[in-house]
Amino acid sequence: MKALLLILIFSFFQSLLPAQEIIVPVSLKHLIEQSFQRYPRVGEMNDLVRMSEVKVNLGKAGYFPIASGELSYRRQYPTPVIQFPVGRGEVQEVGIQPANNYNASINIAQPLVDLRTPASVNKAKSDLEIAKDNLESFKIQLAYQVTQIYYSIIFLNKSLFVQKEQIDLLQSTLQQLKVRVKNGDALNYDLVSTQVKYTNAENFYTDLMNQVNKQYNMLGMLTGNDGAGYLNDTIVNQSIFKIATDSVFILALENNSDIRIADDKVKSAGWDIVSANRNHLPTLNLLAGAGYKNGFIPAVDAVTFNYSVGVGISIPILSASRPGLQKKIATINLSASKQSLETQKVSLNKDLLNALDDIQKNQKKLESVDTLIRQAQLAMDLATDRYRYGVITNLDLLTSLTNFKDAQLSRLQFEYNLLLSRIELCRLAGIKWW
């Protein structure tokens, strides 16, 4: 009754959970589908699923009859005979077995009562569920990786745009400084300092380009697509990958792939115990055979058609598989599987809390960085006016410009981090966004 009550309560709360509809670009969905179709690892895991399906059918073969053909020849010596007295001290020998024995037959054994095969079939079905969940788990991981690369390229391209603006400003300032140094209105120190800033900005731009190229290479490896036409003019808004966090723990316990796989392993280990318990049970078989052989009295040498029908029971007494040891191993494996499931639940709870904390942290950083950008914008405008009137040096002006661009880059980084935290939360909750 308690178990039934818990099931009803859980089902009730499940019915109250809001539907989690994740807003994602259509182009991202296309890339994820391409990764499922083209990445070889997915094909490998699909093959493992098909192999598990064959193992289920192999287990069910225990329900079907076993037919075997037999052809044999056996020479026997001495040949047993019976002596009959025929009078006056004479005897006549009558053979009861032939010296040359021939046999050609077909034998069939059909299980009538077999309590071992169902456990083997259910074990194979549990392994099939593990293979399917492993496939789904890998697809979720792959989708997460493609999504991360997708948005990484987007934000890196935005960072490149901001960095290019900074390089253009520094380049323009350098040209002006060269003229002013030539006219004696500026110092060589200002020119050299600006050149250093310009070189550092160019090096950072080169690093960003290198990161973008690596992300494109990774995207090509996973999807077979170079991203052309998929990543242009993509808008990232605050509703992307946003889910209701109040129900995420219940969703994760129900849908998280690691939890599902661990639970499947517990069920599979349970069937191992059932199989071990049933190894000592007898099996009742229908036996039938038909063929040709000699050895039938009175014409023991004549090859004669014959058939037989009956039942037989097979009772294990001492098995080489040692059912007792198998049961002990299965019991330990079940206990370990249960502990693994509890470990996954504890780890999942920790990962969910970390993801929620990361979301909250990055949201606060985004709010503060907007204030920082406004302040940097104001400082840059003031520095531009003061530099125009000769109140501050060129180095002070460049510092204000750099601070403003750095604030813009920081905002992009915080946006990206917030998005990754939301994606991670969706992954942990087992939500499919493709």
Per-residue pLDDT tens for 253-292?
888 999 999 999 999 999 989 888 888 888 899 999 999 9
In a domain, 5, yes or no: no
Sign of the dihedral defined by the CA atoms of residues 160, 28, 255, 329, in that order: negative
Q: With a cut of 80, say whether residue 415 has pLDDT above it.
A: yes
pLDDT given at position 321:
60
Question: Residue 138 carries which DSSP code?
Answer: H
In a domain, 11, yes or no: no
Cα angle value 149/159/31 (rounded, 5°): 25
| Whether residue 380 sits in one domain with residue 277 | yes
Q: Half-sphere exposure of 58 toward its Cβ, with a 13 Å CA cutoff? A: 10
Residue 324 — very low, low, confident or very high, per pLDDT cuts 50/70/90? Answer: confident
> Where is the domain boundary, 294, 315, 336?
315
Tokens 């054994």 belong to: 109
| Whether residue 271 sits in one domain with residue 171 | yes
User: Which pair of structure tokens corresponds to residue 316?
Assistant: 């294990």
d(CA 148, CA 153): 9
Q: With a cut of 70, say whether residue 381 has pLDDT above it.
A: yes
Cα angle value 202/205/210 (rounded, 5°): 130
Residue 196's identity, in one-letter code, is V
| Whether residue 121 sits in one domain with residue 108 | no
| Whether residue 227 sits in one domain with residue 97 | no
Higher pLDDT, 90 or 146: 146
Q: Beta strands 81-87 and 66-75: pairing type?
A: unpaired
| Whether residue 244 sits in one domain with residue 353 | yes
In a domain, 8, yes or no: no
Angle subtended by helix axes 117-183 and 394-428, to nearest 10: 170
Higher pLDDT, 274 or 231: 274
* pLDDT tens sequence across 174-228: 888 888 788 877 778 878 888 898 999 999 999 999 999 999 999 999 998 877 6
Question: Residue 135 carries which DSSP code?
Answer: H
The whole domain housing 408 covers 21-64+115-281+322-428
In a domain, 70, yes or no: no
| Whether residue 214 sits in one domain with residue 139 | yes
In a domain, 28, yes or no: yes
pLDDT given at position 101:
92
In a domain, 7, yes or no: no
| Whether residue 301 sits in one domain with residue 311 | yes
Q: What's the distance, CA 270 to chain centroid?
A: 23
Q: With a cut of 70, say whether residue 11 has pLDDT above it.
A: no
| Whether residue 256 sits in one domain with residue 228 | yes
In a domain, 135, yes or no: yes
Q: What's the distance, CA 192 to chain centroid?
A: 55
| Whether residue 305 sits in one domain with residue 176 | no
pLDDT given at position 15:
41
Helix H segments across 66-187? 117-183
Tokens 């014409």 belong to: 299
My answer on whether omega of the bond before 298 falls inside 30° of 0, hence cis, is yes
Residue 92 burial (CB < 10 Å; 0-12/13-18/19+)?
Answer: exposed
In a domain, 203, yes or no: yes
- In the 3-class helix/strand/coil scheme, how is 390-430 assigned residue by residue? CCCCHHHHHHHHHHHHHHHHHHHHHHHHHHHHHHHHHHHCC
Angle subtended by helix axes 323-388 and 257-278, to nearest 10: 180
Q: With a cut of 70, say whether residue 392 has pLDDT above it.
A: yes
Q: With a cut of 80, say whether residue 7 has pLDDT above it.
A: no
| Whether residue 240 sits in one domain with residue 166 | yes
d(CA 216, CA 227): 7
The domain tally of the chain equals: 2
Residue 372: give its domain's CATH number.
1.20.1600.10
Hey, is 360 helix, strand or coil? helix
Q: 362: closest CA among 251, 250, 247, 238?
A: 238
| Whether residue 35 sits in one domain with residue 141 | yes
d(CA 12, CA 4): 12
| Whether residue 329 sits in one domain with residue 245 | yes
